[in-house]
Amino acid sequence: MLGNGNGTLDISKKAVRFPSRLLQAILGDFIAERENWPLWLPVGLGLGIAIYFSLGFEPSLWAAFFLAAIPLVGSVFFRNRAGWLLLFLALATIGIGFTAAKVRTLLVAAPILEKETRVLRIEGRIAHFDVLPTGFRVTLDAPHIAGIAPERTPKRVRLRLRRDQERAPLQIDGRVSVRGMLLPPRAPTAPGHFDFQRYAFFGGLGAVGFAIGPLERLAGAKTPGSPFKSRIEKLRQWIFDRVTETLPGQNGAVAAALMTGKRGAITEDVLKAMRDSGLAHLLAISGLHIGLVAGILFFSLRAFLALVPPIALHCNIKKWAALVALFGACGYLLLSGTTVPTQRAFLMIGLVLLAVLLDRTGVSMRLVAWAAFAILLVQPETLLGASFQLSFAAVIALVAVYERIHLSWTRGKAAGGMFRRAGLYLAGVALTTLVAGMATAPFAIQHFNRFAEYGLAANLIAVPTTALWVMPWAVFAFLLMPFGLEAFALIPMGWGIAAVIGAAKTVAGWPGSTVLLPSMTMAGLTAFTLGGLWLCLWRRRWRYFGLAGMAAGLATIGFYRPPDVLVSENAKLFAVQAEAGGYRLSSRAAARFAGRDWLRLAGERDALPWPKEGKSEDSLLTCDSLGCIYRAHGQTVALVFESGALAEDCAIAGVIVSREPVRSGVCNGAAVVIDRFDLWRKGGHAIWLEEEGVRVQNVREIQGVRPWVAGPRRRQKNRKN
């Protein structure tokens, strides 16, 4: 090799120098983008929160404090060394996120119902209720539950009622009594699926259930909770009632949802059409809606004041309009239920309007970062929800794109006439839909397992209709409602809503409008998220390295392998994979929610037939009245329905899943035995079959021992203490 002269030596030297030069280039870009370093503060906070929720045990408060305090102390000692200082500050931010999650858990901790109750008497104060197409969903605060000690009684329970169970009109703060059954918040249907127990814990909900008899209002009994919250909730319900009385049917239900955030009255066919057409975001009050309300108030008031010369000449009408828009946006935030998207939008719009009042200019991406930082610090659990992820993914991507094209876009609008501006507006809607759709698609697939192929076409119709017609009439309806004249605004608002619903149903009816896909792995979602943040938060060319992370994350969709066998926690439902893909469900009636959830997460629409007697068409599953035998990937699984099949099945199967208890020593030859008690203690199970062995996961294993996990493991831990 050396005989070729100095050429080979030069190549070797270049190969050695390349990593060094690459590192120097990366460090140079990092230092050059020092003004964008603060944008990563919420990312560090989010990493700490994610670490907290990924643990299988509950850390102590002191451990959480140390995780934040030690890096902060280190940053003080190394304040004169820039590299070490940045490292310690980054670790401190992660530690603060971890600590914030721990403190939030302690603040919201409340008793959780441990097991299903019999029919009993429940009394409580109505804190909130939703009108559903077939009944009501009522949330009771400070309940008194017969047979349960006060110290073990949940602080809040939620009941479903049929319409014929409502004897008197429901009233916020009214104390009521009803006979019903209560259950603990539902555990995930399978390992890694949506954890309603955690969601309910941070929402203050300790039990759910349904009414058996009619709901009775206790005469003269009112126990108001927080006066401010009660007044807001009463106002929301009053607006909901006025809207639905003026606009009956689904037009009124959607109008009420846009004005109050209460979506319970919207029927499933409308919700499905909105989801399948890519218009579901219009029903979830978000930055679009709160931005429109603030914008309509700001520009309308400013235009009106400009028509009054004495005021226009002697007053700063821009600041007046900004102040009114700020209060209007705050009011809409409260009326819409203060969801995560509205919190984020209000924080951003509030900072923009505050900048107008203080004669300052806001930086858009920094507004997003500070909004995310504030929400994560106060409500760390929102990081895990679809609302937070979809909302911030869309807004970060949109701000990053529009910051790049802002100048050329503004010049294009200024240089053209009315038709050019209209064309640019439609192009803006198309670009917004495209960018937001691409940014949120992986998160929508992760949480909902669906992708709307014709979302661009639907949004080109629905978004301008909502922005230019529906929401202006909604603001007008708010202003007219105190005078009882809201019908003059709600009726034309209903025309626009009818057009939006019609567009949604039309697009949803096109062939292939929705594609169902399985979820990504958690590693894949993390890679996509960090890659997208790298691409959007930096400004120099090195940001394109983020594309590699995004591509790697998306590639994991193709490598996702759903479990071969799924078992529900009550042992009433089994699912097995067919040879050509898809699941066979042992029952269409038992554990229907779990069955729908399994199919959705696997990206399947319908279950394949389960043979009651004989073999399936692919011969993998053979059943009789006592149970089934499933053979795949060189493994044999026995699904035992009756204990009479145990002796025979234990002799031929390596995996035993039984609805009945299996006594010790009965199935010594099986590698895996899961019986009724295992399912009761550990929740639903997922089984992957491979030539070299079997891999099993259960719900409790993934959840760990955490304050929000109800069930046998929680009770066992309490007994030990």
pLDDT-derived band at 673, boundaries 50, 70, 90: very high
Per-residue pLDDT at 410 exceeds 60 = yes
d(CA 675, CA 657): 6
Determine the pLDDT at residue 718. Answer: 38
Mean pLDDT score, 471-492 = 94
CB atoms within 10 A of CB 185: 23
- pLDDT for residue 1: 41
Determine the Cα–Cα distance for residues 308 and 292; give it in Å rounded to an integer: 25
> What secondary structure, in 3-state letters, does 550-618 show?
HHHHHHHHHHCCCCCEEECCCCCCEEEECCCCCEEECCCCCCHHHHHHHHHHCCCCCCECCCCCEECCC
Could you read off the pLDDT of 186-227 as tens digits, one per residue?
A: 999 999 889 999 999 999 999 999 999 888 888 765 555 567
Candidates 231, 258, 240, 245; CA nearest to 332 is: 258
Q: What are the tokens at 212?
A: 């058996």
The two three-digit tokens of residue 106, written as one number? 């302690």
Assess contact for 458 and 282: CB atoms under 8 A: no
Count CB-CB contacts under 10 A for residue 676: 16
CA angle 341, 342, 348 (to 5 degrees): 95
CA distance 333 to 324: 14
Query: Closest by alpha carbon to 39, among 543, 660, 561?
Result: 543
What is the residue whose two structure tokens read 């954890």? 195
Q: What is the predicted pLDDT for the residue at 128?
A: 87
Instruction: Kindly give the residue spans of alpha helices, DSSP state H, lying in 379-454.
Output: 386-415, 418-448
CA angle 436–437–442, rounded 5-degree value: 110
Closest CA to 585 of 516, 658, 639, 519: 639
Q: With bands split at pLDDT 50, 70 and 90, how would you rate the model's confidence at 228?
A: confident
CA distance 659 to 183: 21
- Overall average pLDDT of the 288-301 stretch: 86
Residue 344 pLDDT > 90: no
Q: What is the pLDDT of residue 585?
A: 93
Q: Of 7 and 275, which is predicted with more confidence? A: 275
Q: How confident is the model at residue 403 (pLDDT cuts 50, 70, 90)?
A: confident
CB under 8 A, 24+ apart: contacts of 457-461: 457/507, 458/277, 458/278, 458/279, 458/503, 458/504, 458/507, 459/278, 459/279, 459/429, 459/430, 459/432, 459/433, 460/426, 460/429, 460/430, 460/433, 461/499, 461/500, 461/503
Question: What integer pLDDT is reported at residue 530 of this predicted model?
Answer: 94
The DSSP-derived string for 103-116 is HHHHHH------S-
Give percent above pLDDT 70 in the chain: 91
Residue 714 confidence class, pLDDT cut points 50, 70, 90: very low
Amino acid at 500: V
- pLDDT, position 721: 33
DSSP 377: H
The answer to whether residues 188 and 196 touch, using CB atoms and an 8 Å cutoff, is yes
Structure tokens at 382: 């929102």
The DSSP result for 52-64, as a single string, is: HHH-SS---HHHH
3-state secondary structure of 121: strand
Give the pLDDT confidence score for residue 284 in this predicted structure.
78
Residue with tokens 């820039």: 82
Phi/psi region, residue 337 (left: phi>0; alpha: psi -120 to 50; beta: rest), is left
Q: Is the pLDDT of residue 274 over 80?
A: yes
pLDDT for the residue numbered 348 = 78
Q: What is the C-alpha end-to-end distance of the chain, expressed in Å?
A: 72
Instruction: Round to whole Å and give the CA distance between 24 and 35.
Output: 19
Model confidence at 292: pLDDT above 60:
yes
The CA distance from 149 to 273, in Å, is 46
Beta-bridged to residue 400, according to DSSP, are none
> Mean pLDDT over all residues of the chain?
86
Q: Are 246 and 490 in contact (CB under 8 A)?
A: yes
Q: What is the mean pLDDT of residues 566-582?
A: 91
pLDDT, residue 713, reads: 42
For 112-151, the pLDDT digits (tens) are: 998 889 999 999 999 888 888 888 999 999 899 998 998 9
C-alpha to C-alpha distance for 234 and 127, rounded to whole angstroms: 9
Residue, of 469 and 165, whose pLDDT is higher? 469
Q: How far is CA 640 from the centre of its chain?
A: 37
Q: What's the pLDDT at 412?
A: 64
Q: What is the mean pLDDT of residues 362-384?
A: 87
Percent of the chain with pLDDT over 90: 45
Burial of 197: CB neighbours in 10 Å, binned 0-12, 13-18, 19+:
buried
- HSE-CB at 242 with a 13 A cutoff on CA atoms is 22
Distance of alpha carbon 94 from alpha carbon 72, whole angstroms? 11
What number is the average pLDDT over the span 454-458? 86
DSSP 687-703: EEEETTEEEEEEHHHHH
User: Which pTM was predicted?
Assistant: 0.86
Look at 336-340, 409-413, 625-629 and tell me which has the smallest mean pLDDT: 409-413
